[in-house]
Amino acid sequence: MLFAPVPRMMPSAAAVDCPDVEVIFARGTSEPPGVGRVGQALVDSLRQQTGLNVDAYGVKYPAGKLQLGGGDGANDTISRVKDVVQACPNTKIVLGGYSQGASVMDIVAGVPVGGVTWGSSLPPQYVDNIAALATFGNIADRSGSPISSQSQLLGSKAIDLCNPGDPICHAGPGNEWSDHTDGYVPTYTTQAATFIAAKLLTAGASSVPGRARCPARPRRWDRVRPWDPTSRRLAPGNAWVGVSDRSGMSFRPASGLLGLLTAAALAIPPFALIPPAHAASCPDVQVVFARGRLEPAGTGQIGTALVSALRSRVSGKNIGVYPVNYAANADVVRGANDMSGHIQYMANTCPDTRLVLGGYSLGAAVTDVVLAAPGPMLGFTNPLPPGADEHIAAVALFGNGTQWVGPITTFNPIYNDRTIELCHGADPVCNPADPKTWSNNWPEHLAPAYIKAGMVDQAADFVAGKL
């Protein structure tokens, strides 16, 4: 698709729709105008993971074999950033490039390969508008100068991805040209989208998917049509894996779960104002556990094992169990609403009961939303009110995909000293590794592997210590 440039003077009197996110992407050498194959795959994955309204803009530059258009591409990128900021100041911008397009982004980031002087770097006043930057097959990686480590402007927001067999970005034997031309979709584009979704969290992307009310822009701004939210799906696997397993099921990173956590905190009534109800009998401890994807209703294999192990370690206490009520297919938000609602119910009716939260795989993602969401957003309508955390004694998570971007306590440090996150061996859901190994390592994610490895017992020891 050809993307028309926005005129320098953009009308601002009337309000029009603005995207939550715009991806400005520079295509590779000799690709037709637009965002190119890698750019389109990145945009598609980002839409699928976050549920946000994501537009795309193809950087206008020659992308010829002589590789002399990088400066033009950098200048067009910066012009586009300025236009978006002027017309849609709440839109978060993602920069990206593949192959020669990655070199365009090197210039924008202020670290041009070989110290070339053509083209401009991004003016510092626009850095805060950039949520993330992703490059694929960047020759700068071969020389040890990736944006992520060299750019003072955008290094902290950047991910540089190089297929190990790509001769453009990887020095060494065994390289194949096909690893450069065909080696980035979908594995690395999915990984980049996961990274970007997490950055959108810290950048404060729109809390409601759709379009914000922003200053007008010309109707001739051609753009990729927004992804239809009616077809939205979260990861159809046990969450978080971007590869097909041997059964043919496809897995994608479900960091859209983190994309849910991008809103600023909304005003919530203080927890103390919730009127107390009259409880009949209350357990000393209750384990609130969200099972993994496609496990039958209940707490699942790991949840059941955790409760059993905990009972053997905590004598003299009555330990109750509440299995989170959700379909465990892809509906993380429904599970999060149910878990949060039950926590509030227990705090209201059984204020002396110590709650233990837990989740495995998709269930860990459910718990992530409950603990990290600062307010209602994207279907999550029941956030924990202030003071609810005082009733939570411990949190135990297994095979949690947020470990790709850091522990869940990164997003809510209040639970830092009472949370244990366990990742078994090479479990590709929670252990970042060479994507080529994900399919073979999938058994490491399965519940029996965690139980056999003693990780449920390890979690029970931790939780017992908190009780």
What are the residue numbers of the active site? 361, 427, 445
**Is the torsion defined by CA of 148, 244, 441, 411 positive or negative?**
positive
Name the nearest CA neighbour of 253 among 197, 333, 328, 326.
197
Pairing verdict, β 54-58 and 21-26:
parallel
Burial of 144 (0-12, 13-18, 19+ CB in 10 A): exposed
Pairing verdict, β 354-360 and 319-323:
unpaired
Instruction: Answer whether 392's CB lies under 8 Å from 343's CB.
Output: yes
Q: To which residue do tokens 């297994």 refer?
A: 398
Burial of 42 (0-12, 13-18, 19+ CB in 10 A): buried
Instruction: Answer whether 92's CB lies under 8 Å from 73's CB.
Output: no
Alpha-carbon span 367 to 396, nearest angstrom:
9
